[in-house]
Structures are given as C-alpha cells and as structure tokens.
Amino acid sequence: MVSESLTNQNLDRHLHDYDSFGDETPFISLATGAVERNTITQQNFAYSAIDTALSFATENWTKPGALFFCWVVTSNSPAVELSNVAEAVRDLNIYQRWSPYQLEGELTAKVHIPSNQIERVEWWNPSHGHWHPEHTWANPKYIQPEVLSNIRDLF
C-alpha cells in the first residue's frame, strides 16, 4: 500500500539512493529552482527550475523528455505521511540535513498529483533544438492555485 511507503527512510532513499530505489519510490521529484549563496564573494547564484528539470528529463540533452508544469501543496513542516502534501526537501528551514543535491531546488511530491493541478506538458527533443519545446499540450481542466490563497484584494 502506498501510504505505508510514505516514510522518512523511503524519502531519504528517494533523495540519496535513487539509482537503486527509483523503480519502487512512492515519491515524485519536482524542480523549483535554487539559490546558491557564496559568502566569500557575497553573491547569490540562481539556478532555474526549468533548466534543472530539462537536464533531468533529457538526461543532459541526450534523449527526448517531458516537462510537466504543475503546482502542489506544501507545508512549513515535514509531512511525509500526508499523501496530498509535498515535501520542501531543499528548504533548509524545514529539512536541515546536508545533501549533495541541495542546489537542485527540489520539492518531493507523493505518487499522485491531481490532473487539474497540471497546467501543461512540454515535449523537448534535443534534435529539435534547445530553445523551444517540440510540442506543448495545455490542460483545459487546469485550476489555478490562487483558489487556495488567503490573500485578499486591497481596497
């Protein structure tokens, strides 16, 4: 059962031992971008979520791959057992363990992302070029995440 697989140990295996656990993982990695801080030069370097996702999806531009543009609900605390809440595993305020993959800017969702949270899918083919997707499919049933916002209009 999937809910029994949502454990801290399996999350750690997904993050740090994907080569041997990837076929069994109950998690899905989502790219969100990251910022690297260089304290010596006092500069920040931003890593794009799209660049990171494209690198993974196309195995560094060696084969075609798909990007799914979506949103997920996250928490300000670890919520591994909750299947409808994604983990902000690269947020150092939430997950403080050191990881060599910190700059991948990852959210880790659970097995299922509802289809109405997926805005579009892009198919990228290295033989087609690196600047635009070969195909894009928009989801007509997509719902904007603003329906969950508690921000009210100002007057």
What pLDDT, on the 0 to 100 scale, is given for residue 101? 75
Distance CA 102, CA 91 (A): 9
pTM for the whole structure: 0.82
CB 83 within 8 A of CB 110: yes
Domain parsing of the chain, residue ranges: 27-145
Do the strands 65-70 and 43-47 form a parallel or antiparallel pair, or are they unpaired?
unpaired
Distance CA 95, CA 68 (A): 25
Q: Write out the chain's pLDDT in tens, 155 residues.
A: 667 899 999 999 999 999 899 899 999 999 888 888 889 999 999 888 999 899 989 999 999 999 999 999 998 899 999 999 999 888 878 887 878 777 676 888 998 899 999 999 999 999 988 889 999 999 999 999 988 877 666 65
Distance CA 130, CA 76 (A): 36
Distance CA 86, CA 69 (A): 15
What pLDDT, on the 0 to 100 scale, is given for residue 25? 92
